[in-house]
Structure 1
């Protein structure tokens, strides 16, 4: 049974009354209620987007931009594969360019922890992009982000990252398949 099911049947008027009393004179209520309402007030503080951005270091923000880049390759990399030897693929938008993720060429040599998201560890952005192009944009396209079951999606992700989506078939296996 849910440990918090009693809250569904709670007397909200009682909570409101205690809260109003807390707002008028915080010392007049029990210390446990005072702590509860202090946490409630803290959680309800509104921060502007600029204030939140100022709290985060640039390196932290860039890590998330790189994670977004990795996710974009997983979602759209198959659109940029080289599967037709006769002609080039059509030009797709949005592209997978650094500028679309608020990254630049100056970031290419920076080491990002986000590389662990694609199984290569903390490496430079240049190495992350090279790996992503090798896995998602070569002659084998992989589209799997639409799969709803996280276990299945992670299995496919881990499988294709094992060998950079470059199968190593023996001559016998090549003849068989």
Structure 2
């Protein structure tokens, strides 16, 4: 049913609707068929699906690694080593794995999220090393603000080769 079918509810007495709903909760047959259908939809929308199966820890951790990768892509340039004379200003939060729900024990775990940066399945240690080398060395890049997906993808594809473009001798 389209929402327009229920536009009359905007001008109806809410106490009346509440009274009908209370009757419906006691016995569905106590309300007219159209109200029964309305309340069936209302009750269906109230169902709490939190009793569903818990998401496995390894799946949650994969998403934590994806969040870490996205953080390097959007904030890695803030942590580059671009000034040899003085230390760079401190930015918070850092790109430390703990800020993403990961810990030292995860460094040896293999994550499928490595495919996001062209590594394929890789340990968290390999992923972080790759991200550090790509986004946090002497050349940094900020490109997540670009509003053209094809340009962002081109930059990502080319920069995530460890930020070391291969030039021919020509």
- Both proteins in one fold, TM over 0.5: yes
Structure 2 CA distance for partners of 1:35 and 1:153, relative to 1, 3 Å = farther
The CA RMSD over aligned residues, in Å, is 3.5
Cα distance in 1, alignment partners of residues 150 and 73 from structure 2:
16
Q: 1:36 to 1:122 in 2, by over 3 A?
A: farther
Aligned partner (choices 24, 36, 44) of residue 39 of structure 1: 44
> Within 2, Cα distance between the matches of 1:151 and 1:24?
57
User: 2:61 & 2:95 partners in 1: Cα distance?
Assistant: 16
Q: How many residues align?
A: 161
Deviation by residue 1:30-55 (Cα, 9 ceiling, x = unmatched)? 7865653342121xx496xxx89x93
The equivalent of 2:26 in structure 1 is 24
What's the CA shift for 1:122? 2.4
Task: Give the unaligned 5+ runs of structure 2.
Answer: none
1:83 is displaced (CA, Å) by: 3.0
Shift of 1:125: 0.6
C-alpha offsets along residues 135-177 of structure 1, whole Å, 9 cap, x if unaligned?
111232110122234443333223322x2321111233xxxxx
Shift in alpha-carbon separation, 1:36–1:59, aligned structure 2, 3 A? same
Assess if the C-alpha contact under 8 Å between 1:82 and 1:138 holds in 2: yes
- SS of residue matched to 1:121: coil
| Structure 1 alignment gaps of length 5 or more | 173-177
Q: 1:106 to 1:91 in 2, by over 3 A?
A: farther
SS of residue in 2 equivalent to 1:55: coil
- Deviation beyond 6 Å, 4+ runs, structure 1: none
Alignment equivalent of 2:7, drawn from 7, 10, 25: 10
What is residue 72 of structure 2 aligned with on the other side? Answer: 73
The answer to whether structure 1 residue 166 and structure 2 residue 167 are counterparts is no
Residues 80 and 89, structure 1, Cα contact 8 Å, conserved in 2: no
State TM-score, norm by structure 2. Answer: 0.72
Q: Whose radius of gyration is greater, 1 or 2? A: 2
